[in-house]
């Protein structure tokens, strides 16, 4: 077993050798012998993670499964990680359901996890260790015989009675959807059946030929493309609606050993859990669990064994003293704890080791060769007394809190744009103006059959737009309160409006480019390249960065190292990882000898950031302070003095930071969080910063991709679009204020040891709401917080909530920005009809940051009648509660607000005039014109030939999916992209029917014709007519056509097609073979 000693060797990733040391103890053999005889054994003195080491020492000797029972879910999670550190790889968690009094929902990840373990046990594929809490044992599961009877096996090459299969999964809680994204969903499209069973980690695509299964393929939720073939798969059909009566204990083999960590704690938490349940359906009693577990050998691990026990195994593992977390004192503390023992420091990332080795190089323990490093996770340190070994986690050393969030399947598919078009929606036709979309219609013109979008303009005028021209139609998003008027088809108003906006956009782009050019000439700070410390700091991030984060960080560092002042905007929704990038930028500045100021909108957020920065930078000699209204006059004076003298490296504060009396010794970087929330005066002061120092602005207001693309080259923007893989969507409900519902939801949160926000935004009657809540849930510890309280009282309440000293925080919207409490996973928003969509989204973002599913209840008054706008708002946020979907769809007014923040509020009127997408297009065109770049490539070729080319309803029944695919097809500009698109259709919907093949052939023709600068292809008698733009290109094509092509004027050329007329296959083949040719002599393709 290799361990890292100061200055040398490879890095170890587990401490398996400790298991051998425990097993070598004389009295341990006696403990094993008792367990082998099926007896009950008692152990104590296993402090910290010592109990997990004791369990790890049993595993090799156990003939069956080791079931470890912990008092609560949090400790169960910790034991799971500790066991891996001690070399036990095959360990699984049997989690407790989060809504135990309701029938479990198929999309509940914990249900899937439980079913996966039960199915393994049924197949006798036993894991070495199962970890469970008392709660999860109390929750009933399907009886063993029921689960065995209800397994349905699918096998490639065998027949499937599709009707019977669909009936069975429908009866067991599955629902039919157009596109499968969540467990418990299925979708039948011709010969393709997609299904997602709760116990699977990815959905399955069944390709059928009649009733024969041609293939089984797992597919990716986000791309909907197949990723992996399987020959056989099983799904369980235990009805989610029927009451289960089995127990996990029924599934375990007779040779199982059970380990009860803190039996008193398990009983106490289990009984209080059951007492809090309104109804105990789906649950066993505590007595039943105890009785059923008695058939197995049992080890009880106590802190101090009960006096009545005579034969006790003493683990001789003691807890380790607390550390101060102060980098200056931690060396002496470590030496004091170590004494003459060997110390193993457990780090979460290997990159931390170099820094720690450097930090502790001067300690006695390092110089004596007794300091070793291991990469892994240790929940609580401890000392093995006989072996003189001390285990300490780096988090414990620096008092860092760490969240272990298990990786799991993604919750939903992110939606690229708001293209979700429904009948009756307002749309913008680029040439004709604002209209109402009335659906897709299949139109026949002679032998030609094609689908069209039907648009209705003012005075009921209708326009049919072929799907090949779908790029001209955009969903109208204007952000204005009033709904716009429909345009008059053929009227001149729309043209004038569009021209006015184009002119305004051109001026805006010119002004922004000019500002950028001026900034380029100003001298700024050129920070040096990354040092070893910077590399260590970046690498010690305990999670994997998203590609967006890496790209944004590279851009920020590039800006900082250039000699001009940085002015970069970093956008990303709540929890997408902006703070980590800000910390890396701040570290880079401090590492180069400069000070950093971070400006945030609220005092509470300042406190939170200070805690985060201190924890993340604990291993480095960096002084971080907070300047806000929570500071006493004395503290404020000391901080101001420290800033002026250069003793403070990073200061985080509210608007107090930009007051004239704040002087810096050597300011190099200013980070601004949510700049739009500061007043005009502060913004003006920030402008002066921008001229001399680097500025990084962060905003949680999302910037849509279309605007981001338009702004490239105008403003330095980085956007974080990838939601964290480990975040659940927040389940959102709109409901009347109902005491019973509130009680149920609060008790559910208390049962999983969580916390609750209750937002009531009126200070005048908040005390009355407090009294009502105390009556509804007397079990909950409730406190009130609002901005009219004295500062120190407010701070004390907030910090007590962070420390989980009470359960429910009744508060105003002061929690809206930035408060990050992972254990708070239920939020009630009272009088929700009074909030805007953006505010509701921000408030909802306070929950859903940990492994549990989060809930948001939008409460409206029992007798309140909602106006249509409020109803629409609440419906939008309830409907689009998924991550990603919410980010694009329920965020409409937020994104418009985001555009106003970046471009200035006067642009909002222009956005309302022509709609959001067209505005962004005009802006992008203006930037390209000013920078003398060619226009963006788009295929605009009319092909009018007698054939049927469309996506039939029988092939793609869902209209939204169909429109999305038409739009995707219209944007393809290369044959390789078209080939990939055809593969996607085959994969998702089955073999291509003739109209779809024809549709793709026509688009390939358009791509080739576009290269030759042909605008239109149509048939006249025995000729195919090309209407072209470039004479030079047409002359080149004439040479390749070998006498069949005649150029008749400056825009038309006639291709002799008498051999092919009447045979559309031959005609298309001949056109393709002509147009796909490229002349050998290179020349400008745009000539």
The pLDDT-based confidence of 1 (bands split at 50, 70, 90) is: very low
Query: What pLDDT is recorded for position 1080?
Result: 60
Mean pLDDT across the stretch 184-213? 92
Which of 714, 719, 718, 723 has the alpha carbon at shortest distance from 920?
A: 714
Q: What is the CATH number of the domain that holds 999?
A: 3.90.1150.50
Tally of domains within the chain: 6
Same domain, 974 and 1037: yes
Q: What is the mean pLDDT of the chain?
A: 84
DSSP reduced 3-state for 703? coil
Residue 478 lies in a domain: no
Residue 756 counted as domain residue: yes
Residue 1008 lies in a domain: yes
Name the residue range of residue 324's domain: 318-397
CA nearest to 795, candidates 631, 987, 587, 582? 631
DSSP type of residue 814? G
Average pLDDT on 981-1007 reads 94
Kindly report the number of other CB atoms within 10 A of residue 660's CB atom.
6
pLDDT classification of 533: cutoffs 50, 70, 90: confident
Strands (E), 341-471: 342-347, 371-375, 382-384, 389-393, 426-429, 433-445, 448-456, 462-466
pLDDT digits (tens, 9 = 90+) for 897-938: 555 556 666 676 787 788 777 888 888 888 888 888 887 777
Rounded average pLDDT over 197-209 = 92
Both 191 and 91 in one domain: the answer is: no
**CATH of residue 754:** 3.40.50.300
Q: Which pLDDT tens digit goes with each residue over 128-143?
A: 999 999 999 999 999 9
Residues 735 and 855 in one domain: yes
Q: Give the mean pLDDT of 567-588.
A: 87
Q: What percent of the chain has pLDDT over 70?
A: 87
Mean pLDDT of 513-519: 75
Q: Are residues 138 and 30 in the same domain?
A: yes
In a domain? residue 369: yes
Pick 276 or 742 by higher pLDDT. Answer: 742
- The residue that leads in pLDDT, 195 or 704, is 195
- DSSP H/E element including 96: none
Domain termination site, one of 315, 341, 362: 315
Digit-coded pLDDT (tens) for 62-110: 999 999 999 988 899 999 999 999 999 899 999 998 776 666 677 777 8
Instruction: Based on the fold, state whether residues 36 and 131 are members of the same structural domain.
Output: yes
The pLDDT of residue 308? 64
At residue 701, the pLDDT reads 65
User: Span 247-259, mean pLDDT?
Assistant: 94
pLDDT tens digit sequence for 376-394: 889 899 999 999 999 998 8
More confident residue, 1028 or 632: 1028
Average pLDDT over residues 856-872: 75
Q: Is residue 806 situated within a structural domain? A: yes
CB 841 within 8 A of CB 881: no
Residue 6 has pLDDT above 70, yes or no: no
In the chain, % of residues over pLDDT 90: 40
Mean per-residue pLDDT, 749-775: 92
Q: Which residues pair with 452 in a beta bridge?
A: 441, 466
Question: Domain ends where: 355, 372, 397?
Answer: 397
Least confident of 162-171, 600-609, 640-649, 1070-1079: 600-609
7/698: higher pLDDT: 698
CATH of the domain at 80: 3.40.50.11180
Asked whether residue 406 carries a pLDDT value surpassing 80, the answer given is no
**pLDDT (0 to 100) of residue 899:** 59
pLDDT digits (tens, 9 = 90+) for 657-686: 888 888 999 999 999 987 777 776 776 676
> How many whole angstroms separate alpha carbon 485 and alpha carbon 913?
10
pLDDT at 1063 over 90: no
* Per-residue confidence (pLDDT) for residue 598, from 0 to 100: 95
The pTM of the full predicted model, rounded to 2 decimals, is 0.77
Q: Does a structural domain hold residue 247?
A: yes
On the 0-12 / 13-18 / 19+ scale of CB atoms within 10 A, 341 is middle
Is 774 inside any structural domain?
yes
pLDDT at position 4: 43
183 and 254 part of one domain: no
Q: Are 459 and 468 in contact (CB under 8 A)?
A: no
414 pLDDT exceeds 80?
A: no
Residue 689, classed as helix, strand or coil, is helix
Q: Quick one: 610 and 692 in the same domain?
A: yes
Give which of 817, 782, 774 is closest to 800, Cα–Cα: 782
**pLDDT-wise least confident of 407-416, 484-493, 597-606, 1049-1058:** 407-416
Q: Please compute the mean of the pLDDT values over residues 998-1023 and round it to a whole number.
A: 93
Neighbour tally for 310: CB within 10 Å: 7
Q: Could you say which of 315, 336, 371 is where a domain stops?
A: 315
Phi/psi of residue 450, each to 5°? Answer: -150, 150
Residues 696 and 736 in one domain: no
How large is the average pLDDT for residues 578-589?
A: 94
What tens digit of pLDDT does each residue of 788-814 get?
Answer: 888 778 878 887 888 889 999 999 988
Q: Averaged over 222-249, what is the pLDDT? A: 83
Dihedral, CA of residue 124, residue 128, residue 132 and residue 137, to nearest 10? 30
Query: 892-903 vs 916-930: helix axis angle to the nearest 10?
Result: 30
Question: Average pLDDT in the 874-892 region?
Answer: 51
pLDDT computed for residue 883 by the predictor: 43
What angle is formed at CA 812 by the lines to CA 806 and CA 816, rounded to 5 degrees? 95
pLDDT at 267 (0 to 100): 94
Residue 128 and residue 160 share a domain: no
Is residue 102 located within the same domain as residue 227? no
Let me know if residue 763 belongs to a domain. yes
Q: What is the distance between the alpha carbons of residues 103 and 279, in angstroms, rounded to a whole number?
A: 12
Q: What confidence score (pLDDT) does residue 418 get?
A: 43
Residue that is written with structure tokens 């080149």 in the block: 1036
pLDDT of residue 8: 39
State yes or no: pLDDT of 818 exceeds 60: no
Cβ-contact 160, 154 below 8 angstroms: yes
- Say what the pLDDT of residue 1086 is: 46
Residues 138 and 259 grouped into a single domain: yes
Instruction: For residues 808 and 851, state if they share a domain.
Output: yes
Does the structure show a pLDDT above 50 at 888? no
More confident residue, 577 or 429: 429
Lookup: tokens for 264: 């008193």
pLDDT at 624: 95
């Amino acid at each position: 077993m290799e361990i890292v000693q100061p200055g040398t060797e490879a890095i170890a990733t587990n401490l398996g050798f400790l298991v051998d040391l425990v097993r070598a103890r004389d009295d341990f053999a006696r403990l094993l012998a008792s367990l082998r005889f099926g007896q009950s054994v008692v152990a104590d003195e296993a402090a910290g993670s010592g109990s997990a080491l004791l369990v790890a020492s049993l595993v090799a000797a156990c003939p069956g499964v080791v079931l470890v029972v912990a008092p609560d879910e949090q400790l169960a999670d910790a034991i799971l990680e500790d066991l891996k550190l001690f070399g036990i790889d095959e360990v699984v968690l049997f989690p407790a359901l989060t809504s135990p009094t309701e029938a479990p929902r198929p999309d509940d990840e914990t249900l899937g996890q439980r079913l996966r373990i039960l199915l393994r046990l049924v197949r006798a594929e036993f894991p070495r260790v199962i970890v469970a809490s008392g709660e999860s044992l109390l929750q009933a599961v399907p009886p063993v015989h029921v689960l065995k009877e209800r397994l349905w096996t699918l096998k490639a090459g065998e027949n499937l009675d599709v009707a019977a299969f669909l009936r069975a999964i429908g009866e067991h809680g599955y629902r039919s959807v157009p596109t499968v994204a969540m467990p418990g969903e299925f979708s039948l499209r011709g010969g393709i059946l997609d299904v997602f069973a709760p116990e699977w980690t990815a959905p399955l695509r069944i390709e059928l030929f009649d009733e024969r299964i041609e293939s089984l393929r797992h597919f990716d939720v986000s791309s909907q493309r197949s990723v992996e073939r399987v020959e056989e798969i099983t799904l369980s059909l235990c009805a989610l609606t029927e009451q289960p009566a089995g127990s996990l204990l029924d599934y375990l083999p007779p040779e199982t050993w059970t380990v009860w960590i803190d039996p008193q704690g398990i009983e106490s938490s289990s009984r209080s859990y059951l007492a809090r349940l309104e109804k105990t359906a789906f649950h066993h009693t505590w007595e039943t669990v105890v009785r059923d577990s008695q058939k197995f050998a049992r080890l009880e691990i106590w802190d101090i064994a009960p006096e009545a026990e005579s034969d006790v195994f003493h683990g001789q593992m003691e807890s380790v003293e607390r550390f101060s977390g102060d980098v200056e004192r931690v060396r002496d503390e470590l030496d004091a704890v170590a004494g003459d023992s060997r110390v193993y420091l457990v780090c979460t990332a290997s990159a931390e080791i170099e820094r720690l080795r450097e930090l502790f190089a001067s300690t006695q323990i390092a110089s004596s060769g007794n300091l070793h490093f291991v990469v892994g996770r240790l929940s609580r340190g401890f000392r093995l007394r006989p072996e003189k070994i001390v285990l300490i986690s780096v988090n414990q050393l620096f008092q860092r809190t760490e969240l272990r969030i298990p990786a799991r399947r993604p919750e939903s598919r992110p939606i690229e744009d708001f293209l979700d078009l429904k009948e009756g929606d307002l749309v913008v036709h680029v040439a004709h103006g604002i209209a109402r979309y009335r659906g897709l219609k299949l139109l026949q013109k002679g032998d030609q059959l094609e689908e069209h979008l039907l648009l209705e303009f003012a005075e009921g005028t209708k326009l049919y737009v072929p799907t090949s021209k779908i790029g001209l139609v955009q969903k109208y998003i204007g952000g204005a309160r009033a709904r716009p008027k429909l345009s008059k088809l053929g009227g001149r108003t729309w043209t004038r409006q569009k021209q006015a906006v184009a002119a305004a956009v051109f001026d805006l782009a010119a002004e922004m480019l000019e500002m950028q050019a001026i900034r380029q000439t100003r001298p700024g700070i050129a920070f040096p390249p990354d040092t070893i410390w910077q590399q260590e700091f970046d690498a010690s991030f305990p999670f994997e960065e998203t590609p967006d984060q890496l790209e944004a960080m590279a851009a920020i560092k590039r800006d900082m190292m250039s000699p001009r002042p940085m002015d970069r905007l970093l956008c990303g929704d709540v929890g997408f990882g902006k703070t980590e990038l800000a910390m890396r930028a701040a570290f880079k500045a401090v590492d180069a000898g400069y000070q950093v100021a971070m400006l945030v909108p609220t005092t509470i957020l300042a406190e939170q950031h200070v805690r985060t920065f201190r924890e993340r930078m604990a291993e480095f000699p960096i002084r971080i302070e907070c300047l806000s209204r929570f500071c006493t006059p004395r503290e404020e004076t000391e901080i101001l003095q420290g800033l002026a003298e250069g003793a403070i490296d990073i200061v985080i504060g509210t608007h107090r930071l930009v007051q004239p009396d704040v002087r810096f010794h050597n300011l190099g970087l200013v980070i601004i969080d949510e700049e739009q929330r500061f007043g005009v005066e502060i913004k003006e002061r920030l402008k002066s910063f921008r001229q001399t120092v680097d500025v990084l602005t962060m905003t949680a207001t999302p910037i849509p991709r279309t605007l981001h693309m338009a702004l490239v080259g105008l403003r330095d923007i980085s956007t974080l679009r990838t939601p964290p893989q480990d975040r659940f969507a927040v389940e959102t409900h709109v409901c009347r204020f109902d005491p019973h519902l509130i009680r149920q939801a609060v008790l559910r949160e208390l049962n999983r040891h969580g916390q609750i926000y209750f937002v009531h935004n009126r200070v005048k009657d908040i005390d009355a709401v407090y009294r009502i809540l105390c009556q509804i849930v007397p079990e909950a510890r409730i406190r009130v917080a609002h901005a009219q309280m004295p500062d120190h009282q407010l701070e004390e309440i907030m910090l007590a909530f962070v420390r989980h000293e009470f359960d429910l925080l009744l508060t105003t919207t002061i929690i809206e920005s930035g408060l990050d409490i992972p254990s708070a996973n239920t939020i009630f928003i009272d009088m929700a009809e009074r909030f805007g969509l953006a505010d509701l989204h921000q408030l909802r973002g306070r929950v859903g940051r940990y492994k549990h599913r989060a809930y948001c209840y939008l409460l409206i008054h029992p007798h309140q009648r909602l106006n249509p706008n409020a109803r629409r708002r609440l419906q939008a946020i309830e409907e689009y509660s998924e991550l990603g979907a919410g980010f694009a769809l329920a965020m409409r007014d937020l994104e418009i607000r985001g555009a106003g923040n970046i471009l200035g509020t006067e642009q909002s009127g222009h956005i309302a005039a022509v709609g959001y997408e067209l505005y962004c297009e005009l802006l992008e065109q203006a930037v390209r014109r000013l920078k003398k770049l060619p226009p963006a490539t788009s295929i605009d070729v009319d092909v009018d030939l007698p054939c049927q080319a469309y996506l039939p309803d029988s092939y793609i029944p869902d209209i939204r999916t169909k429109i999305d695919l038409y739009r995707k097809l219209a944007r393809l500009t290369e044959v390789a992209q078209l080939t990939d698109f055809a593969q996607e259709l085959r994969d998702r919907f089955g073999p291509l029917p003739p109209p779809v093949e024809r549709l793709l052939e026509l688009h390939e023709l358009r791509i080739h014709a576009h290269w030759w600068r042909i605008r239109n292809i149509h048939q006249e008698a025995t000729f195919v007519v090309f209407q072209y733009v470039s004479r030079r290109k047409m002359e080149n094509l004439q040479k390749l056509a070998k006498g069949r092509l005649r150029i008749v004027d400056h825009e038309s050329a006639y291709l002799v097609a008498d051999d092919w007329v009447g045979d559309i296959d031959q005609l298309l083949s001949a056109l393709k073979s002509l147009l796909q040719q490229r002349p050998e002599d290179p020349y400008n393709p745009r000539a």
